[in-house]
Amino acid sequence: MRSCLTTLIAVAAPTLCLGGAKRMTPEERIALVLRETQPLKFPRGERLPLYVWPALDPPGDEAQAEATLKALDARGIAACASWHPGKNQPQSLERALRVSALQKRLGLQVNINANACTYSICDGSEATAHLDADGKSFFDTSSEGRKLGCPFRLQHRYAAMKEQVDFFCRAYREKGVEPSFVFADWEIDGPIEWNGGWDAARRCTVCRKSIPKVGDFLEFQRAYRRVRSEIQRECYASVVLKHFPKALVGNYGVYPHGGWRYWYDYFETDPPEGCPVKMDQRAPYRPWPHEFEGCGYTFAMPVVYTWYRIWSWYDWPQDDYRWFYALLLEASAAGQAAPAGLPVITFVHHTTTSPPKEPDPAVKQFSSDAYQELLWHMLLRGHDTFFLWCPETEIAQEIRPLHETWAAALEFREFLDKGEPVTFGVPKQPGPVVSALRLGPRLLVRRTDFTDAREPVALAVGGKTVAVPRAEGKCQVLTLPE
Ligand SMILES: [Zn+2]
């Protein structure tokens, strides 16, 4: 196998397509992932693997795919096979099944990227359009130019959307191959309340009839998100779970939370006048309905990305704390709201995300060290594992710090498996940040400092207090006082 692995990694050599001149081949993407990561030092046990976008669809014949899957698994990394409906559906099924059947034979988890099966319920057809007072049809095209239709005129599309997922599920069941993880990245489709969404709803007679208080943003938003949950449940989650009741099924950005969203997706502009935001320095946090609960998902998929606009929201001279603070607010809300037993598999991205064509040079990249600290705090606040998304030009710089931290955390597997998070606090000023998992009288603690503060931090745990000393770049195991 050694020679096979050497061959796999050697493919990474001619990859450097910075500037985006040349697309990388799947072989090159996976070779880079393997080259930038090391086999695990501490066993993963029953813990979930690390998911990485560049390891989708391992290519090659059976022997090559097997070598790839084994090399990835030695690093704790899972490969996903993609389902593509449409005109190449039979070939897509054949390719995906080849990888999945191999995973089953090797005793690995079968992981599926079902994203393509979730597009597009808004197919741009007349029958899905909003209708104005004159009965004239129109679309909301304010989100990346997509023709978003009327949420209350999409129900006739459910059967066709379901079939896109059901086709693959039926074929897998017939072959006795059971997916254990199925994810999607369904975002710019279906009801969206941002950008021109509210304007469109107020102009539409069908929306107005379906949402009596359409002029109240929160009422409107709840109604739109209710339909959004229904679509995800009816056309995706329930279809997978009907065939594979034990599968983990989820979608990008859908997770339990505390009612607020601390980030903006790349296609979302500032909230409309009339949307009650919560201001924090210059950060307008948005109200967010409880969409997850109506979807029927079996895992949570928060998003912790370094969105470009975050840095400018705050005034602190510590550049890293601007990122760290916003991302920890989001991560903590998701970790705190997840009910016990619900896996939290979080999309992460470190390199400044979705910058404009000419970024302001004042906006500093989040440092790798602080990013790794953030990952530690997430693991100590209820996140189970991560899903790396990145463009292919960033694979090396993204996978290295992520895999290093995730793999190092396995040393404390007992705490990760059975420990309880003890705090979700996020300091309003740069200073020491503490997270911990409690297992009986012991605590696995991470303390990260953004100032020169030397004194211990008093951490309250169940009526007791423990002093947490400064400890750069490492975890501490502390014992609660008798
Ligand atoms: Zn409408």
Q: Strands 181-184, 111-113: parallel, antiparallel or unpaired by DSSP?
A: parallel
- 84 Cα: distance to centroid of ligand 1 (angstroms): 29
pLDDT tens digits for range 370-406 = 999 999 999 999 999 999 999 999 999 999 999 999 9
Strands (E), 43-86: 50-56, 77-82
For residue 120, whether the previous peptide bond is cis, meaning omega lies within 30 degrees of 0, is yes
- 132 Cα: distance to centroid of ligand 1 (angstroms): 8
* 445: in domain: no
* 430: in domain: no
pLDDT tens digits for range 107-121 = 999 999 999 999 999
- Identify the band that residue 353 occupies on the pLDDT scale cut at 50, 70 and 90: very high
- 150 Cα: distance to centroid of ligand 1 (angstroms): 4
For residue 321 the two structure tokens come to 């704390």
Say which residue, 5 or 257, is predicted with more confidence.
257
**Which residues, 6+ apart, have CB-to-CB distance to 2 below 8 Å?**
none
Alpha helices in 40-115 (DSSP H): 62-74, 89-105
31: containing domain: 2-419
* 229: in domain: yes
* 437: in domain: no
- 137 Cα: distance to centroid of ligand 1 (angstroms): 9
* 352: in domain: yes
* 238: in domain: yes
Question: What confidence score (pLDDT) does residue 8 get?
Answer: 66
Segment 262-286 mean pLDDT: 98
% of the chain exceeding 90 in pLDDT? 95
* pLDDT surpasses 90 at 89: yes
Question: What confidence score (pLDDT) does residue 58 get?
Answer: 96
- Please, are residues 50 and 406 in contact by the beta-carbon 8 Å criterion? yes
- 147 Cα: distance to centroid of ligand 1 (angstroms): 12
Segment 25-31 mean pLDDT: 95
Cα 93 to Cα 96: distance, rounded to the nearest angstrom: 5
Question: What confidence score (pLDDT) does residue 10 get?
Answer: 63
Neighbours of 408 (CB within 10 A): 17
At 131, is the secondary structure helix, strand, or coil?
A: strand
Cα 308 to Cα 422: distance, rounded to the nearest angstrom: 31
Neighbours of 33 (CB within 10 A): 28
- 207 Cα: distance to centroid of ligand 1 (angstroms): 4
Tell me the Ramachandran region of residue 67: left when phi exceeds 0, alpha when psi lies from -120 to 50, beta otherwise: alpha
For residue 401 the two structure tokens come to 């710090």
- 143 Cα: distance to centroid of ligand 1 (angstroms): 16
Give the sheet arrangement for strand 420-421, strand by strand.
420-421, 432-439, 442-449, 475-479
- 142 Cα: distance to centroid of ligand 1 (angstroms): 14
pLDDT mean across residues, the chain: 96
- 161 Cα: distance to centroid of ligand 1 (angstroms): 20
- 125 Cα: distance to centroid of ligand 1 (angstroms): 14
Number of domains within the chain: 1
Segment 94-106 mean pLDDT: 98
The pTM score is 0.96
- Please, are residues 222 and 258 in contact by the beta-carbon 8 Å criterion? no
Question: What confidence score (pLDDT) does residue 35 get?
Answer: 98
End-to-end CA distance of the chain: 52
Question: What confidence score (pLDDT) does residue 22 get?
Answer: 83
- Please, are residues 402 and 75 in contact by the beta-carbon 8 Å criterion? no
* 336: in domain: yes
Least confident residue range of 18-27, 122-131, 163-172:
18-27
Question: What confidence score (pLDDT) does residue 16 get?
Answer: 46
Segment 1-6 mean pLDDT: 50
Residue at 198: amino acid letter = W
Strand partners, 366: none
Domain harbouring 278, CATH code: 3.20.20.80
Say which residue, 18 or 345, is predicted with more confidence.
345
* 481: in domain: no
